């Protein structure tokens, strides 16, 4: 069933239709938020809030040809910004993510290397321009196609490709420099 049909059914009170939209897009929204927040627990919370906000705002949603997914990612982006603002006012470190679970981590050295590699990548991504960051995050963490990223950002597909290319080149330069130091 198409998103447009599911949205209309959900607006008419069909809970199962909204459930299908949730199933269709939760993993993409969660991956995007998880990458941006760096915390699985926080990403789960914010993802839930995104879909709650979407459900609350659904009666006012008007189908204008812009994909429902783009609307969800705009909500996710806004909630991400709110979450990061709250975090900056009250910094904290989640207990469950600070120490690896020994039952899941067979090789602590590999776990630590992966953690350092991930943190280096996140730092490099933070040095990109805002648009490059959004393209990289939506494309690789959110799992969207170039066309979908273009719709979310309100850009052309060609602009998204150019931004992605420039971002990947910048990331490569940064990562090579950091590995040489």
**If you average pLDDT over residues 160-171, what whole number do you get?**
91
**If you average pLDDT over residues 162-180, what whole number do you get?**
86
What is the CATH architecture assignment of 101-181? Orthogonal Bundle (1.10)
pLDDT at position 18: 94
Tokens of 157: 């597909």
Look at the block and give the residue holding tokens 């659904």: 58
Domain layout of the chain by residue ranges: 1-98, 101-181
C-alpha of 74 from chain center:
10
Which tens digits make up the pLDDT trace of 77-133? 999 989 888 877 776 555 555 555 555 556 777 767 777 777 777 788 888 898 898
CATH number of the 1-98 domain: 1.10.1740.10
Residues 6+ apart with CB under 8 A from 169: none
- Do residues 154 and 39 touch, judged by C-beta distance below 8 A? no
The answer to whether the Cα torsion of 2, 63, 47, 12 is positive or negative is negative
CA torsion, points 135, 136, 141, 145, in degrees to nearest 10? 50
pLDDT > 90? residue 142 = no
Rounded to whole angstroms, how far apart are CA atoms 85 and 72? 20
Alpha carbon distances (Å) from 15 to 22, 55, 75: 11, 10, 20
């Amino acid at each position: 069933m198409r998103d447009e049909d599911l949205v209309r059914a959900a607006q008419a009170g069909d809970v199962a239709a909204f459930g299908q939209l949730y199933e269709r897009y939760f993993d993409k929204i969660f991956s995007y938020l998880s990458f941006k927040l760096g915390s699985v627990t926080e990403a789960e919370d914010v993802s839930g809030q995104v879909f709650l906000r979407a459900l609350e705002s659904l009666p006012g949603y008007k189908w204008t040809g812009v994909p429902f997914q783009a609307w969800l990612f705009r909500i996710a982006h806004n909630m991400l910004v709110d979450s990061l603002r709250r975090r900056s006012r009250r910094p904290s470190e989640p207990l469950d993510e600070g120490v690896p679970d020994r039952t899941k981590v067979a090789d602590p050295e590999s776990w630590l290397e992966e953690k350092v590699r991930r943190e280096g990548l996140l730092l490099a991504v933070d040095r990109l321009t805002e648009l490059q960051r959004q393209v990289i995050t939506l494309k690789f963490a959110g799992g969207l196609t170039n066309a979908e990223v273009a719709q979310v950002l309100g850009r052309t597909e060609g602009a998204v490709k150019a931004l992605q290319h420039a971002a990947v080149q910048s990331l490569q330069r940064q990562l090579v420099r950091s590995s040489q130091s």
